[in-house]
């Protein structure tokens, strides 16, 4: 890493961490593992209770429901940072992340370089709150470097942070080869932190409450990661299923639509069912359809009632939470993947589907648009009606569906590969060090 001699000492700070399972926890856990494999000394400070893990500092208060907050977190973090003296502090935030922001304050007081990653989309209320905090604490003057997981998320952060805080887009990382090969589940599970109850990244990608701050200044800006802006063709042998006979030989089987994620109001699961019902109405009756919506959550009972009331039980199934192996098998049989939530900051489930060779339908204004181009990797819609039309079009048009699937199998979204993600964070660490010195 430029500016650092050899191994870099990195301290991650996150409200939520293992054994909790969610979008932030999964990404932070994977990032720590990959940085350690790259030879860096990596630790994490968290307010999440749990069993002891190497390099994990649990700063926990006894609160109802094991809430990941601590009333005296700043003091504890100050002592930890002064004792460990990391080269950089990497903070992970959501929309409401009090412990993470305590980490920011502590690092600034100690004089350490700080990078802040926001893992979700700031909605209008969140932006109002952060504007108020900016006026009150002037956090935009603290010398922070920010990152967001997509252009859509970064746009909202920059509108609050202003020009003094650089905000860069660094994708969530994914083991691309694992989602392509027939032995993906084995290879990915072997690489990830072991936990037999761990859900797939797709199901976990629903942070408890995620959002963040920051924007690119005109000075001290790291060079752009050029490789992240292009799609690299997969070389012969990269994919375990170059021709994907599973999809090609299904003949007249129903067109299979898949969605994966937590069944929570923020994900608009009832709207997803309405989308499927209206898409079915736009498709000829002789064209058979079936849909599988994987996941669990508080909206499940409401979804079941909707399916019964609208006579959809015969072709829409809610199988519950799936393991990584099951997700991989499901995507192998999928023809279309749907990610309809407008506030999707990234869309890890959609990325997994795209890498597995499935055409993706998503919102134009969501983070999915970073790796799905209309007519290339899938179809995008700006509103509900456009999403309905996109799903119906892919169901009706087998040639288009298979063309997109072939493109997805033959190319990789390079910016989401771990080497590019690590390089992006290293540039941000260097920029934070430059600003601090």
Between β-strands 9-14 and 88-93, what pairing exists: parallel, antiparallel or unpaired? parallel
DSSP 107: H
pLDDT for the residue numbered 18: 84
Q: Directed axis angle between helix 73-84 and helix 98-110, to 10°? A: 50
Beta bridge partners of 42: 10
pLDDT for the residue numbered 181: 44
Can you say whether the dihedral through the CA atoms of 97, 103, 108, 109 is positive or negative?
positive
* CA distances for 42 relative to 7, 57, 67, angstroms: 10, 11, 24
Domains and CATH numbers, the chain: 9-223+417-436 (3.40.50.2000), 245-413 (3.40.50.2000)
pLDDT for the residue numbered 93: 94
Length of the chain, in residues: 437
Q: Whole-angstrom Cα distance, residue 406 to residue 332? A: 13
Return the structure tokens found at 165.
Answer: 């805080």
pLDDT for the residue numbered 65: 63
Q: Whole-angstrom Cα distance, residue 353 to residue 360? A: 7
pLDDT for the residue numbered 20: 80
pLDDT for the residue numbered 220: 37
Q: Which residues contact 210 (CB under 8 A, 6 or more apart)?
A: 23, 24, 93, 94, 95, 97, 118, 119, 120, 121, 345
Between β-strands 336-339 and 255-260, what pairing exists: parallel, antiparallel or unpaired? parallel
Q: Whole-angstrom Cα distance, residue 332 to residue 246? A: 7
Counting as low any pLDDT under 50, the low residues of the chain are 181-199, 201, 203, 205-246, 248-249
pLDDT for the residue numbered 5: 54
Helix locations, 234-283, DSSP H: 245-248, 269-281
């Amino acid at each position: 890493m430029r500016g650092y001699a050899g191994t870099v000492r990195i301290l991650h700070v996150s409200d939520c961490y293992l054994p909790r399972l969610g979008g932030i926890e999964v990404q932070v856990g994977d990032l720590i593992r990959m940085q350690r494999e790259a030879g860096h000394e990596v630790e994490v400070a968290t307010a999440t209770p749990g069993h002891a893990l190497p390099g994990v500092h649990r700063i926990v208060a006894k609160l109802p429901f094991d809430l990941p907050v601590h009333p005296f977190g700043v003091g504890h973090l100050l002592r930890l940072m002064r004792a460990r003296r990391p080269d950089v502090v990497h903070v992970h935030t959501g929309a409401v992340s009090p412990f993470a922001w305590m980490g920011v304050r502590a690092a600034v007081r100690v004089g350490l370089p700080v990078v802040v990653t926001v893992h979700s989309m700031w909605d209008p209320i969140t932006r109002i709150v952060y504007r108020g905090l900016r006026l009150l604490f002037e956090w935009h003057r603290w010398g922070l470097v920010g990152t967001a997981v997509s252009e859509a998320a970064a746009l909202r952060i920059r509108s609050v942070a202003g020009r003094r805080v650089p905000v860069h887009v660094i994708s969530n990382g994914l083991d691309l080869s694992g989602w392509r090969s027939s032995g993906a589940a084995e290879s990915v599970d072997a690489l990830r932190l072991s936990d037999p109850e761990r859900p797939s990244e797709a199901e976990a990608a629903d942070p408890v409450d995620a959002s963040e701050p920051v924007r690119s200044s005109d000075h001290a800006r790291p060079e752009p990661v050029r490789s992240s802006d292009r799609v690299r063709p997969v070389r012969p042998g990269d994919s375990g299923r170059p021709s994907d006979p599973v999809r090609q030989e299904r003949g007249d089987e129903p067109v299979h639509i898949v969605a994966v994620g937590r069944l929570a109001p923020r994900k608009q699961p009832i709207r997803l069912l309405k989308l499927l019902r209206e898409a079915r109405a736009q498709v000829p009756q002789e064209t058979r359809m079936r849909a599988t919506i994987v996941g669990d959550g508080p909206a499940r009972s409401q979804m079941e009632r909707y399916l019964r009331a609208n006579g959809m039980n015969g072709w829409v199934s809610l199988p519950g939470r799936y393991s990584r192996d099951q997700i991989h098998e499901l995507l192998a049989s999928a023809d279309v993947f749907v990610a309809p939530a407008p506030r999707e900051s990234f869309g890890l489930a959609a990325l997994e589907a795209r890498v597995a060779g499935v055409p993706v339908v998503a919102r134009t204004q969501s983070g999915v648009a970073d790796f799905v181009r209309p007519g290339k990797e899938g179809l995008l819609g700006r509103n509900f009606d456009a999403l309905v039309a996109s799903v119906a079009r892919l169901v009706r048009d087998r040639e288009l569906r298979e063309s997109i699937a072939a493109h997805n199998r033959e190319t990789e979204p390079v910016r989401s590969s771990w080497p590019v993600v690590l390089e992006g964070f290293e540039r941000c660490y260097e920029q934070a060090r430059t600003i601090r010195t």
